[in-house]
Structure 1
Amino acid sequence: MTTVNILGRLRIATEQVRKVQSSLAKDGPPDQVEILGKVGKELDGILYNLVDILSDDTRQSEINITSNDGQISKWLEQTFSSKPQRSTTAASRFESIKAVIQASSFVNALQRQVRQNAKERLSAVLDLPVDIYKLNLWSFNMMEYDEPFVFSILLIFDAHDIISRYHIDIETLKNFCRALTDGYQKYQTPYHNDFHGADVLQTTHCLLIKSSLMNVFTQIEIAALLFSAAIHDYEHPGLNNGYLVKTKNDLALIYNDFSVLENHHASSMFKLLRDKRCNIWSNMDTNEYRTFRSLVISLVLATDMANHASLIERMSTYFYFKETNSTTPSADSKTLLQTLLHAADISNATKPWSVYIQSAERIMEEFFIQGDLEKINYEDRKPTFDRESTDIVQLQIGFITHIVHPTFDVLSKVLLIDSLDYAQKESKATTNLSNYTLPWQYDLQLNLETWKQISRNGDLKKMIAKRKPLKLNYDYLQEYVEKAKTVLRKRSQHDLLLNCALSS
């Protein structure tokens, strides 16, 4: 059994011990309460040590999937987790997120806020098609604009004070954006192109501003996170790591089958930065650049989907410590940064349906292109996804249920608690967690319910307008979006009535 599964079982056991201790606290025997308290502290310590080990970008992770479709279950298990492949070394001790708050963080946050709210923006000066206010919207659709990197990097870097802080020359930044676009367009992939890269950057930006995390991370961490978001799939060929390894691709041989694509994205990008015309970090202090480069590499490597199970389990444990007000140090900033980038990378299903369905169509076509190649290059001629037989509906349901929802569930809890911590620190007022909502919560429910409605009542033949390249029947799907909205509305009304009944 892998370390991450042991961690999950131990966390559940620890929660159960705490619940029993709490129930016995009033009327139970004092000696038993004391013993349970000691057991709880000991389990906390063991739990913390396991998280400490897992914090070193481990690849030891497993995820158990329950699905009626064996093909989809196999894909989810193989893509978003991995068997142990190398020995792990103990990571440096986790630091509390609060430890990274610097004395000047509040002043820096105010400065960033002033810059975001300033009337005179780069969008006007450089005649950009959008302004920062549009990029602040969770519902923003990157696919509606040409050359998305040009405006998204300029505006978002400026909003977070990165351009002025690191003395980035605007012409150099423009050169970098063009080169970045060329790299993303190198293989003309349906999904992993410049639209996806810019979308992940904009989503990461939203995750920062929709919570108080801007007040938690240091400036170098924010710069590394946003830069990593922009470059995380640079020169992506539209094929996954498994395919590259199985076909003995040159990249797999170069990187010894370990996070092949992620290593290539990071390495190729830093090679690009050797070109003075594109090196936007040329004015960064040498020691600071060393820290920056190390963090960027760590973040990009963490986007390997095989790390999903380990990363989510670590964040779940962090939330457990926060929720129980444990004195055990919580997750370090790097783990939270990795989670934010991972969440942004798989965030399509959390966006409004009209945005999400376009992304879903593109990623499925990319899967099917790989499936076409697998029929040619695999000896068993069994593709992961066959464009003629794959159940797209069940694939989306499985992906949202087992991957997207758990990720955003734990992220929501952590973001809300840290936001409340910061709000209470500044206002010294008690704030209720239930009063906070995050922009993705409704759309994630709606998108999942839509696929469930299609699964129950839909005609899969009518859903697909064209199989090669894949084109979905948007008008037909919209009917089920409306049905899903009705279901959610009734469910919300039922929950409201139930809560009123329970409170009265």
Structure 2
Amino acid sequence: VANPPDRAKDDSSVGAKNGQLSRAGSLTVLRRTNSKSKLASSSSSRTSSIAESDSYASVDLGTDKLPPIDTPEASHVCSIRLRNILRRIQNGEVPKEDLYKNLEYAASVLESVYVDETSTVKDTTKNSIEPPTPQPKSSKERLTDEDDELSEVEPDAVPTEVRDWLALTFTRSMNNVRRRGQEKPKFRSVAHAIRAGIMVDRIYRRLSSSSTLHIPPAVLQLLKGMDDWSFDVFALNSAADGHSLKYVGYELLQKYDLVTKYKINSSMLDSFLLQLEAGYSKYKNPYHNLVHGADVTQTVHNILSQSKLAHWLTDLEVFATIVAALIHDFEHTGTTNNFHIQTGSEFALLYNDKAVLENHHICASFRIMRSEESNILNHLSREEYREFRALVIEMVLATDMSFHFQQLKNMKNLLGMPENIDKQKALSLVLHCADISHPAKDWSLHHRWTNQLLEEFFKQGDREQELGLPISPLCDREKTLVAESQIGFIDFIVDPSFTVMTEMLEKILTPLQKAARSEEAISEEVFDKSDKSKYVLSTPWADCLAINKNKWKEQAAKDAEERKRKEAEEKSKVPNSNTNNNTTKAPVPADKATPVVNCSTGKGGN
């Protein structure tokens, strides 16, 4: 929740720096000065104040009539106001300025409650003649009376480090609550602080999700399947009216809590995603378009989440991985790197014939992220930006197929020393596998992707023919053997890549299994129940690859029979001709097909 401009420099208010969600994804509520306003002198006036504030809290969203933060009725009125705001957010009725003021008020009430709970009661009547004024009902009792939708937090459920975090978050310094001779905060008060903090956090998140992007119900329903391996991105794109990349990008940035952690402005995020879609649509490619970008990004997410690799990464590394997947083919021209080199295109000249398209994807994307209206990185520190950019560059460059075999060779060498596996190289292999993953998806998806990819190849072949250039492999409409080429692509490219990636994931995540016993770093469900020392990785791609390969073999056999039939018909039409002049090369057997590396993904070098 951004600060209003007129409060940006007001030290007395809870600003964006002090009142926002922390980088750990949790609500930060800071205590202010320990000054307290005087309590009301009579119970009658207090009752009247409560009734008036109660009514005001449920009708208006202003804060001028709310009771002082340190009075007994403050927490009660605050709870009414927060629930009122929750209801209004669902209807999109809360102005950002009012939300800011109310969250500031709620944070101040929590601070007061916490200070009240942890302070030591001093004897103030030592020199007093009159008897002490009866103390009002304690904050602890008031909070205990409140009904809450959240279940009670049990003491055993919160480890020591969480208690330390709460102390640090709510009091700025551990020294403020752990001074020698002072009593530690009682757990029940801390539990109430958690519950109140979660409510404010919910308001923040609900406003964030409702104000940044309104997702159509049909799209929202399909996004629930984002964790599926064979996610139907075509159905999503249809329901999203051609905006699948936008919704996938938004959903994943929210899913990993990156919008909150890196304070990504909603309008900037929307502008960034829309400009990405425009760039992917620039050349109207049948294959390398925004749907492919959305598909690869969802596949990367599936690998990160289902393998639990995300536990191995920092928030910044997850952020860079998602963005790298989103931009990895931005403004793809629908032609290969070799085509750019052979034609001496502007891109080839600019990037000296080296990873021509990949360099352009990166450069053009970062230009967008540098623009004022689409700068989703504006809250990164200089060091974070440098690390983010380096990782994105490494990952996207690794999608150049000319690096394919060297990339696999390097990773195989590292598998013997898993402790030396570099995160950049590991994530680069994940993105590379996601980029070539359609043969490892359900047949209906794979077959559709294949047809669209071939159409893109054929368009390049048509241009090459017009320019008098040799037609690239798989780009000739008349001579391409589709089934045989896909069998070779699976056997020589996709299957070996996924095999190496699977072994890499097991090498990386097996040591984390030991830590999971004590630290719960990874969910227990991913481990073999009979052997807790063995990490079991789900590999849905293995079955898909086997099924799709068999289907292509069946198709290859049918195609071979069809070619023989046509050859026989041609021979029967030309009697007494020299059969030696009409012989045709025998088709390449399916299991001996030669892979065509460059055109299988539309990328790569020679």
TM-score by length of 1: 0.64
What residue in structure 1 maps to residue 224 of structure 2?
133
- In 1, Cα distance between the equivalents of 2:470 and 2:453? 24
1:347 equivalent to 2:437? Answer: yes
> Equivalent residues in 2 for 1:79-90 (5 A)?
none
Contact 2:513/2:533 (CA < 8 Å) preserved in 1? no
- In 2, Cα distance between the equivalents of 1:445 and 1:321? 30
Q: Deviations over 1:336-389 (max 9, x none)?
A: 010011011001011111111111111111111111111122345676521111
What residue in structure 2 maps to residue 413 of structure 1?
503
1:441 equivalent to 2:542? Answer: yes
- In 2, Cα distance between the equivalents of 1:379 and 1:235? 24
Q: Which amino acid aligns with 1:162?
A: L
Q: What secondary structure does 2:370 align onto? A: coil
Q: CA deviation at 1:220?
A: 1.3
What residue in structure 2 maps to residue 399 of structure 1?
489
- In 2, Cα distance between the equivalents of 1:390 and 1:295? 37
- In 2, Cα distance between the equivalents of 1:264 and 1:273? 14
- Which of 142, 159, 169 is 2:255 aligned to? 159
Contact 2:509/2:535 (CA < 8 Å) preserved in 1? no
Which is worse superposed, 186-195 or 290-299? 290-299
CA 1:383–1:352 in 2, change beyond 3 Å: closer, same or farther?
Answer: closer
What residue in structure 2 maps to residue 171 of structure 1?
267
Q: CA deviation at 1:433?
A: 4.7
- In 1, Cα distance between the equivalents of 2:313 and 2:551? 37
1:319 equivalent to 2:420? Answer: no
What residue in structure 2 maps to residue 97 of structure 1?
none
CA 1:388–1:123 in 2, change beyond 3 Å: closer, same or farther?
Answer: farther
What residue in structure 2 maps to residue 18 of structure 1?
none
1:228 equivalent to 2:329? Answer: no
Q: Which amino acid aligns with 1:232?
A: H
| Structure 1 alignment gaps of length 5 or more | 1-102, 108-114, 323-328, 463-504
What residue in structure 2 maps to residue 248 of structure 1?
344
Q: Deviations over 1:407-441 (max 9, x none)?
A: 00111122234333222321279436585432212
CA 1:123–1:411 in 2, change beyond 3 Å: closer, same or farther?
Answer: farther
- In 1, Cα distance between the equivalents of 2:378 and 2:391? 17
> Equivalent residues in 2 for 1:275-314 (5 A)?
275-314=371-410
Q: What secondary structure does 1:423 align onto? A: helix
- In 2, Cα distance between the equivalents of 1:257 and 1:178? 30
Q: Deviations over 1:116-142 (max 9, x none)?
A: xxx979499722413653111111111
- In 1, Cα distance between the equivalents of 2:472 and 2:411? 36
Which is worse superposed, 429-438 or 165-174? 429-438
Q: CA deviation at 1:448?
A: 1.1
- In 1, Cα distance between the equivalents of 2:508 and 2:432? 19
Contact 1:374/1:383 (CA < 8 Å) preserved in 2? no
Root-mean-square deviation (Å): 2.6
> Equivalent residues in 2 for 1:11-30 (5 A)?
none
Q: Deviations over 1:86-140 (max 9, x none)?
A: xxxxxxxxxxxxxxxxx99xx9xxxxxxx9xxx9794997224136531111111
CA 1:381–1:194 in 2, change beyond 3 Å: closer, same or farther?
Answer: closer
What residue in structure 2 maps to residue 330 of structure 1?
420
Q: CA deviation at 1:152?
A: 0.5
Contact 1:123/1:130 (CA < 8 Å) preserved in 2? no
- Which of 215, 218, 225 is 2:314 aligned to? 218
- In 2, Cα distance between the equivalents of 1:381 and 1:410? 33
CA 1:397–1:382 in 2, change beyond 3 Å: closer, same or farther?
Answer: closer
Q: Which amino acid aligns with 1:143?
A: F
Contact 1:203/1:344 (CA < 8 Å) preserved in 2? yes
Q: What secondary structure does 1:277 align onto? A: helix
- Structure of larger gyration radius: 2
Q: Which amino acid aligns with 1:257?
A: D
Structure scoring higher RCO (CA < 8 A, sep ≥ 6) equals 1
- In 1, Cα distance between the equivalents of 2:463 and 2:268? 39
- In 2, Cα distance between the equivalents of 1:396 and 1:142? 21
CA 1:351–1:460 in 2, change beyond 3 Å: closer, same or farther?
Answer: farther
Q: Percent identity?
A: 33
Q: Which amino acid aligns with 2:540?
A: P
Contact 2:454/2:474 (CA < 8 Å) preserved in 1? no
- In 1, Cα distance between the equivalents of 2:347 and 2:230? 36
| Structure 2 alignment gaps of length 5 or more | 1-160, 166-200, 519-528, 564-606
- In 2, Cα distance between the equivalents of 1:296 and 1:382? 30
- In 2, Cα distance between the equivalents of 1:434 and 1:455? 38
- In 1, Cα distance between the equivalents of 2:473 and 2:517? 57
What residue in structure 2 maps to residue 357 of structure 1?
447
CA 1:353–1:383 in 2, change beyond 3 Å: closer, same or farther?
Answer: closer
- Which of 228, 234, 244 is 1:143 aligned to? 234
TM-score by length of 2: 0.53
